[in-house]
Structure 1
Amino acid sequence: MRFTGRRRSFWMLSIAATTLVIGGGALYSRFRAHESREIKEISPGISLLSVSTTTPNGPLRYWLVKADKAGWELGLEVADARDVIEKRSVRDLAAQSGATVAINGGFFAYGGAAVGAVKVGGEWHRLPWKNRTALGWSETNARIGPLAGSCQLTLTLADGEKQIKNAALNGFALSGTHTPLVDGFCILTPRFGAKYKRKLGDVIAEFSNGQRILRAPNELPDEIEVPADGFLVLARGQAVETLSQTQNASWKAIAHPASFDKSPQILGAGPRLIENSLVKTTEVEEEFRPDVVARGPRTAMGWDEDRNWLLLVADGRQVASAGLTIPETAQLFRELGAVEALNLDGGSSTQLVINGELVNLPSGYDPVNPMRQREVSVTNALVLKPRGFRGTPR
């Protein structure tokens, strides 16, 4: 998805959001006479709150999963760890990971690649998008905050080392831009895919354990395998001459702030919803399009003061559920006990799966079978599994 927009629209939305939160008070308190609520235990240490209510903007259905962090582990499941553009439904990702609960994760481009940071098991798949809000976590800690990043490439030449401070990683645009790379370097790891098909003007070098695999240019096939123990370096423009002189290479992703480097799992999304128990939405600073902020289906995550994981899903764009704006999502999530929270991808991507069953009703319908609920394929999902559970290796 592309997230550019007009500053004027952003500020108008921000003013409207402030008016709603300050002037409206508790968003749903006057309408709860028409509300039905049900809490049930999914499994020991994890519960589901299901609510059907009426709001000033129409009916609303939402669900809150609450999981004891001591017994439940939060994971990040990607559709395919060997193909950066692969997408699957949340139900499939839940089954793939063996998760009890799964929700859709971060944003993605129409081609399938994640838009925003993706780091799994300490390995970077995708770099942060601009300075948008991200979630970083380990077994003992979690943080939500703005995250920028870059990929630094170090090349060993005959006359010494050369550092490239900003290379593309597993994609063909520099971090935070949609502009195709025409002059510079790109690193393709096994997370990008098994092979890369060369395009006109590409010059490529293969590296295994940092050492260059020497081949004559005419020996390189049109489809080049990404070394399982290494990576490809692609050069375009003036970078071609430098790559031709390169003997060895290494790369590393650098997070800003550096505190995120300590997180083995990172998912970029945004905007922020809650900080230090206060509603604080950052759609203006993060330059989200007005349609992303507007009313629709919502997925969000955070935690409460006891550090329990909280996953919030709301249906939208339906007769039975109008959906939520970003400010309304933040207000509702705070009322439900969240002290830190961020927004995830929403709209037709919004899906909640529990024990293999789709709980919510995604917006839109399957064009082939209108009676079947539409399950959009997504790039990644946040999953909850009993702590210590490892499932079937992919």
Structure 2
Amino acid sequence: MTNPRIRTHRRRRYHQRRLTYVPQTFSLKRVHWILTAPLLVVALSLALTRQRVIANTFEQPIPQKAFLSPAWVPTLAQATIPVPLTRQGGQITLNGRPLDAIWSQRQQQIGISDAALARRFGVNLLSSNDETQQPIEWFSNTADGTQAPLKLSTWLTEQYRYLNISTLAQQFGWEMQISGANLQINTPPAKILSVRQGRQSWGDRIVIDLDRATPWLISEEGNAAVITLDAPIAPALLRGFSGRPGSYIRGLNVASSGDRTVIRLRFADAARPRVWSLNNPNRILVDIRADALQEQSIAWSPGMRWAQQYVNLGGDRFPVVALEIDPRSSEVQLKPIWGNPDMKGTQPLVTTAQRSQAAAAINGGFFNRNNQLPLGAIRRDGRWMSGPILNRGAIGWDENGNVTIAQLSIQETLLAGNGNRITLRSLNSGFVNAGTARYTREWGASYTPILNNEVVMTVQNNQVVRQQQMGLAGQTPVSIPSDGYLLVVRSDRTASEALRAGTSVQIEMAVQPDNFSRYSQILGGGPVLMLNGQIVLNPTAEQFSTAFIQQAASRSVIATTGAGKLMLITVHNRIGGAGPTLAETAQITQQLGAMNALNLDGGSSTSLYLGGQLIDRPASTAARVHNGIGVFVQPRL
């Protein structure tokens, strides 16, 4: 129950702040003077430099680069006066409630990351072809074309894209104040007028009528969602509403929480919620439907586009979320990423991407879920972090945007000074079998036995200096020398006897196909789906199991197009059914215009990250992964 005195106090506090709000240092007159007097830019630049020195006594500038949309600044001033971030932070206090959200300030403009604006405020992003202007939908009638969408200017840093909320705040009467790393936002008090529920041909709809626009946030956990609105509900309305099961709704509860209202939903496996808003009158709509994906195509940054669509295959419709990237763009780079300093362990893709300072990422190759070690090729900047296995598919690329996809293998041969010649089974891999494997410092500072009773030889300066009989798996780490490597012998007495301490050794390496040697970045997956525009799927040749081949599950794919673009693709469950099989994945990828394509780890691992959030699924439903492919952006000066 909401106390009327609380609502009255909040409205009085809001109006007092509006009356007492003091603008920041730069006035509109000064901005006007800059725009209309370009001949004095040099003098102004000197003055600003002096002003910046004085300001630094009280506040250090943020070292992270950020670049304002070119459309925002006059050409002359843009070319002459750098415009760095003045402040940034990771928390927003919205109407008294602290929220984790990325924001930044640039001159007098305040930007919130598009992920935070969507998840924490309820703003829907609409399709665009200009990365410097993002159209949005928030309490507006844009779907029927009766109202043009509000467009927010953007600026970009290495990890996030910020939307300038100045126009949004002015239009809806928001108050903003910065306190350290915290951005405080207060919106005009709103209240709920009614709550309605009804069945639709496509599912269920809940309508919340409001007296004015107000933020909301949604969190999902499995088949449940919690929607929190910054508006109270009257006790009489609460008593008069009773949620009931629907086509997909399995449970619905509306509760009051101080100045907020909380809606808790449970729904069927086949459905997900889509929450959006309209005006005239103001209302929030919660649609529970099987086809909840909002189709869109957004120019997110130079060289990268975010697309969401349904792909029809036979009688089925599959939701596809993808990033299209120009690998030849000087503003975009791709590199393999992983979650920990060494090659053991898993992390949520969101964590790995943020630690790597990537703007975008997709989950990568396979790994052993028990010991959390990689099972496939990972090469970064010319260094083999993990070698390929079983002649499985891999993708290689270089800094010039050249890309290749094929089955990949490495053959290492150990030449001993005593005349023995030993074929090595693997390089820096969690894949184990009888024979000799090699582990270099790329694996980490040490190696821990994967199987019982391994024999570990330490090689320094091309000579075996030590041989150790190990005991139980997972115990007794052995240091990997910086000037050598370890040889690990498993169930092979002949190799152990041939490599006694004092034996000199040399390594020969052959890569097949040999053109992969030219690619500094490589990541393995499999199977290969497409080559030269044709489906070439042959998972048996890549030694995948029958169960894996027949499985229907969510999928991750990396592909190239005829125009030289890269696509990072995720495909989830078809409407009313399971995810795609490998054969269906290949057909979907072909429909998307791919020429060459490689399957990556899938199922619960399938994850696509962009600008601070997963864009293909709720983060709570995604498994931890070992590695991925990170997309690094270099904003324009």
For structure 2, which runs of at least 5 residues remain unmatched after alignment?
1-290, 470-474
Answer whether contact 1:57 1:322 (CA < 8 A) is retained.
Answer: no
Which string of whole-angstrom CA distances, capped at 9 and with x for unpartnered residues, describes residues 16-51 of structure 1? Answer: xxxxxxxxxxxxxxxxx9996211121122111112
- The answer for the alignment partner of 2:338 in structure 1 is 78
- The answer for the alignment partner of 1:162 in structure 2 is 420
Answer whether contact 2:374 2:430 (CA < 8 A) is retained.
Answer: no
How much has 1:65 moved relative to structure 2? Answer: 0.8
* TM-score under structure 1 length normalisation: 0.75
- The answer for the alignment partner of 1:307 in structure 2 is 564
Residue type of the alignment partner of 1:234? V
How much has 1:202 moved relative to structure 2? Answer: 4.1
- The answer for the alignment partner of 1:102 in structure 2 is 361
The 2-side partners of 1:145 and 1:340 are apart by: 9
CA shift in 2, pair 1:68/1:201, >3 Å: closer
2:389 to 101, 110, 129: 129
Is 2:459 the counterpart of 1:207? yes
- The answer for the alignment partner of 1:234 in structure 2 is 488
CA shift in 2, pair 1:246/1:316, >3 Å: farther
1:314-333 aligned at under 5 Å gives the runs 314-316=571-573, 322-333=578-589
For structure 1, which runs of at least 5 residues remain unmatched after alignment?
1-32, 363-371, 390-394
- The answer for the alignment partner of 2:74 in structure 1 is none
The 1-side partners of 2:594 and 2:437 are apart by: 40
Is 2:46 the counterpart of 1:46? no
Which string of whole-angstrom CA distances, capped at 9 and with x for unpartnered residues, describes residues 84-112 of structure 1? Answer: x3212211121122111100001112222
CA shift in 2, pair 1:144/1:292, >3 Å: same
Answer whether contact 2:467 2:500 (CA < 8 A) is retained.
Answer: no
How much has 1:314 moved relative to structure 2? Answer: 1.3
Is 2:323 the counterpart of 1:65? yes
Residue type of the alignment partner of 2:633? P
How much has 1:63 moved relative to structure 2? Answer: 0.8
CA shift in 2, pair 1:230/1:82, >3 Å: farther
CA shift in 2, pair 1:169/1:296, >3 Å: same
Is 2:624 the counterpart of 1:377? yes
The 2-side partners of 1:63 and 1:36 are apart by: 10
1:261-272 aligned at under 5 Å gives the runs 261-272=517-528
Answer whether contact 2:311 2:317 (CA < 8 A) is retained.
Answer: yes
The 2-side partners of 1:232 and 1:63 are apart by: 42
Residue type of the alignment partner of 2:380? V
Answer whether contact 1:81 1:191 (CA < 8 A) is retained.
Answer: no
- The answer for the alignment partner of 2:286 in structure 1 is none
- The answer for the alignment partner of 1:29 in structure 2 is none
How much has 1:58 moved relative to structure 2? Answer: 4.8
Is 2:405 the counterpart of 1:144? yes
The 2-side partners of 1:215 and 1:342 are apart by: 40
Answer whether contact 1:193 1:226 (CA < 8 A) is retained.
Answer: yes
Shifted more, 91-100 versus 205-214: the winner is: 205-214
CA shift in 2, pair 1:151/1:328, >3 Å: same
Count of residues in Structure 1 that have an aligned counterpart in Structure 2: 334
Shifted more, 270-279 versus 226-235: the winner is: 226-235
Answer whether contact 2:456 2:468 (CA < 8 A) is retained.
Answer: no
CA shift in 2, pair 1:373/1:215, >3 Å: closer
Q: SS state of the match for residue 352, structure 2?
A: helix
> Rg bigger for which structure?
2
CA shift in 2, pair 1:44/1:299, >3 Å: same
How much has 1:165 moved relative to structure 2? Answer: 2.4
CA shift in 2, pair 1:206/1:312, >3 Å: same
Answer whether contact 2:307 2:323 (CA < 8 A) is retained.
Answer: yes
The 1-side partners of 2:503 and 2:292 are apart by: 70
How much has 1:200 moved relative to structure 2? Answer: 6.5
Answer whether contact 1:50 1:64 (CA < 8 A) is retained.
Answer: yes
Is 2:449 the counterpart of 1:195? no
How much has 1:186 moved relative to structure 2? Answer: 2.7
How much has 1:266 moved relative to structure 2? Answer: 1.8
The 2-side partners of 1:116 and 1:200 are apart by: 22
1:224-373 aligned at under 5 Å gives the runs 224-235=478-489, 236-244=492-500, 246-293=502-549, 294-316=551-573, 322-361=578-617, 373=620
How much has 1:383 moved relative to structure 2? Answer: 1.4
The 1-side partners of 2:468 and 2:517 are apart by: 38
1:87 to 332, 335, 346: 346
* TM-score under structure 2 length normalisation: 0.48
Q: SS state of the match for residue 247, structure 1?
A: coil
CA shift in 2, pair 1:95/1:237, >3 Å: same
CA shift in 2, pair 1:154/1:38, >3 Å: same
Answer whether contact 2:424 2:438 (CA < 8 A) is retained.
Answer: no
The 1-side partners of 2:477 and 2:356 are apart by: 31
Answer whether contact 1:50 1:63 (CA < 8 A) is retained.
Answer: yes
The 2-side partners of 1:342 and 1:306 are apart by: 17
The 2-side partners of 1:295 and 1:202 are apart by: 38
How much has 1:322 moved relative to structure 2? Answer: 3.5
Residue type of the alignment partner of 1:95? Q
How much has 1:215 moved relative to structure 2? Answer: 8.8
CA shift in 2, pair 1:216/1:307, >3 Å: closer
The 1-side partners of 2:367 and 2:307 are apart by: 28
Name the % identity. 27
The 2-side partners of 1:105 and 1:34 are apart by: 26
How much has 1:52 moved relative to structure 2? Answer: 4.2
How much has 1:291 moved relative to structure 2? Answer: 3.8
Answer whether contact 1:137 1:265 (CA < 8 A) is retained.
Answer: yes
